[in-house]
Amino acid sequence: MKLEDIKKVYFIGIGGIGMSALARYFHGRGAEVHGYDRTETLLTKKLVEEGMNIHYTEDVNQVPEGVSLVVYTPAVPATHRELAYLREQGLPVKKRAEVLGIISRGMKTIAVAGTHGKTTTSSILTYLLRCGGIDCTAFLGGIAANFGSNFVEGKSDWVVVEADEFDRSFLHLSPNVAVILSMDADHLDIYGDPETLLETGFRPFAAKVEKGGRLYIHHQWREQLGELPFVESYGIGGGDYRSENVRVENGFFTFDYRSPAHRIDGLQLAMPGRHNVENATAAMTVALQLGVGEQDIRVGLRTFRGIRRRFEVLYRSEDRAYIDDYAHHPSELKAAIGAARELFPGKRLTGIFQPHLYSRTRDFAGGFAEALDELDEPLLMEIYPARELPIEGVTAQWLLGKMKNPNKRLVSKANLMEAVERAHPEILLTLGAGDIDTFRETLKAYFEDNRHL
């Protein structure tokens, strides 16, 4: 399939963050874009404003004629009426990852993989490249504040993509440069166990790096990847490319960078958290290798404004703050809570967590309980099912029972604001990948209305 032959594209699940980036890409190329999603969101409204056609009922009569390509997300079940109908018509029906692979094959590709940090690292890298004069294209998994979008259109032959391990999607890519941030167990509904994730996911992905290309992996995971001739490592305090002396100065996470070719002191990152210093270390390592100058790196890191729902500070005063974060894995929860502890020492941390997927809650219950116990006051919402049916015995009450924190309690969507008012939090974190973000504006308004209390 040639990209120039695609004149009309139909997306099933167009409101997904990765799907909408592809929709914007085709729309920018002049293709007619149509799509379906279950619910109207701020993102789908924006796509409609940009000139795309979207409907919200599963109805084959709303599928336009003359479609050149159908793109769907693996989160859509095979029984979806529109998906089944379009397959029956004999149209080209491809997963999002397959289409991303087609696009990237005609370009020089930088693929960022890992069970955590893909969106942050991809966004920082894209911003640093563009600060350094490399006009790259990027498909991002979140809305980057510096671009106001999850899709960045460039004129050079470089493209930055997120390499998603879910459903082994990243095996459709053949990158020139790749980064592996972490290989923690996740998506066990797909892989079954951590070893299978490694053997049938990350190792085959690493092997797909083009001859003459480079692969950068967090130094803690280097040995597990096995023997590959083109692998280099990065991290805090370890690896071929490393950051050292991480500290908080004047509200910025500050660090020094060391590599065989560079020694850069006093770098300042606007995004808080040691995990984000590691993400920035990976991003700047690739940018420096591609020729971005040290001064452009310094300015880029300081002026990078973050991504929606990645430790996004929605309210901050001298005494109180409200942060929203997408964390949905125990490691991500620990990173977000740890960043808040370091940024607001001595403050009481209240966290509202909405577990995402029954299977993930079941598989990592012990890790979730341990991470949430690190809060001063953990508030636990019911599990957000996403693409899954309930699993018997796996509930928020069950997870709560595994926690040891004496201040733990369940909250519902109906009584969430009442619980927040009762807690009167100094530092509040909303955590999760479900629909907890629908409370963002209400919670932000609560802090603004009560700033003098």
What's the rounded Cα separation, in Å, for the pair 352 and 236? Answer: 29
What's the rounded Cα separation, in Å, for the pair 28 and 23? Answer: 9
Looking only at the bridges linking them, the beta strands covering 177-180 and 158-163 are unpaired
What's the rounded Cα separation, in Å, for the pair 239 and 259? Answer: 9
**Contact (CB, 8 A) for 253 and 272:** yes
Assess if residue 324 is contained within a domain.
Answer: yes
Query: How long a stretch of residues is the chain?
Result: 453
What's the rounded Cα separation, in Å, for the pair 310 and 421? Answer: 24
What's the rounded Cα separation, in Å, for the pair 56 and 330? Answer: 33
Residue bearing the bigger pLDDT, 169 or 43: 43
Could you read off the pLDDT of 125-178 as tens digits, one per residue? Answer: 999 999 999 999 999 999 999 999 999 999 999 999 999 887 788 899 999 999
Assess if residue 99 is contained within a domain.
Answer: no
Residues 269 and 338 in one domain: no
Residues 253 and 121 in one domain: yes
Percent of the chain whose predicted confidence (pLDDT) is above 70: 98
What's the rounded Cα separation, in Å, for the pair 281 and 241? Answer: 8
User: Where a domain ends, among 64, 94, 124?
Assistant: 94
Q: For residue 153, what is the domain's CATH number? A: 3.40.1190.10
Assess if residue 237 is contained within a domain.
Answer: yes
* pLDDT category of residue 110 using cuts at 50, 70 and 90: very high
What's the rounded Cα separation, in Å, for the pair 314 and 441? Answer: 9
What's the rounded Cα separation, in Å, for the pair 200 and 340? Answer: 35
Question: Which amino acid, one-letter code, is at 26?
Answer: F
Residues 158 and 193 in one domain: yes
Assess if residue 349 is contained within a domain.
Answer: yes
363 — phi, psi (to 5°)?
A: -70, -30
What is the distance, to the nearest Å, from the Cα of residue 358 to the centroid of all Cα atoms in its chain? 20
Could you read off the pLDDT of 366-379 as tens digits, one per residue? Answer: 999 999 999 999 99
Other Cβ atoms less than 10 A from the Cβ of 216: the count is: 25
Residues 405 and 444 in one domain: yes
Q: For residue 48, what is the domain's CATH number? A: 3.40.50.720
Residues 224 and 369 in one domain: no
Residues 319 and 444 in one domain: yes
Residues 401 and 267 in one domain: no
CB within 8 Å of 57: residues ≥ 6 apart: none
* pLDDT category of residue 294 using cuts at 50, 70 and 90: very high
Assess if residue 432 is contained within a domain.
Answer: yes
Percent of the chain whose predicted confidence (pLDDT) is above 90: 77
Q: Which of 267, 328, 322 is nearest to 124 (CA)?
A: 267
**Contact (CB, 8 A) for 111 and 180:** no
Q: Give the CA radius of gyration of the chain.
A: 22
Q: Which residue has the tokens 């997300």?
A: 73
Q: Which of 160, 167, 200, 197 is nearest to 182 (CA)?
A: 197
User: Where a domain ends, among 69, 94, 119?
Assistant: 94
Assess if residue 291 is contained within a domain.
Answer: yes
Residues 73 and 151 in one domain: no
* pTM for the full predicted model: 0.84
Residues 118 and 136 in one domain: yes
Helix (H) or strand (E) holding 277: helix 274-289
What's the rounded Cα separation, in Å, for the pair 309 and 421? Answer: 22
Q: Which residue has the tokens 């640093």?
A: 128
Residue bearing the bigger pLDDT, 437 or 106: 437
Assess if residue 83 is contained within a domain.
Answer: yes
Assess if residue 317 is contained within a domain.
Answer: yes
Q: What angle do CA 247, 248, 251 make, to 5 degrees?
A: 160
Q: Which residue has the tokens 């809650």?
A: 361
Q: Which domain holds residue 66?
A: 3-94
Residues 32 and 116 in one domain: no
User: Where a domain ends, among 271, 303, 335?
Assistant: 303
* pLDDT category of residue 200 using cuts at 50, 70 and 90: confident
Question: Which amino acid, one-letter code, is at 409?
Answer: R
Q: Which residue has the tokens 């803690």?
A: 220
Q: For residue 342, what is the domain's CATH number? A: 3.90.190.20
Is the pLDDT at 306 greater than 80, yes or no?
yes
In the chain, how many domains are there?
Answer: 3
Residues 132 and 60 in one domain: no
* pLDDT category of residue 450 using cuts at 50, 70 and 90: confident
Residues 423 and 292 in one domain: no
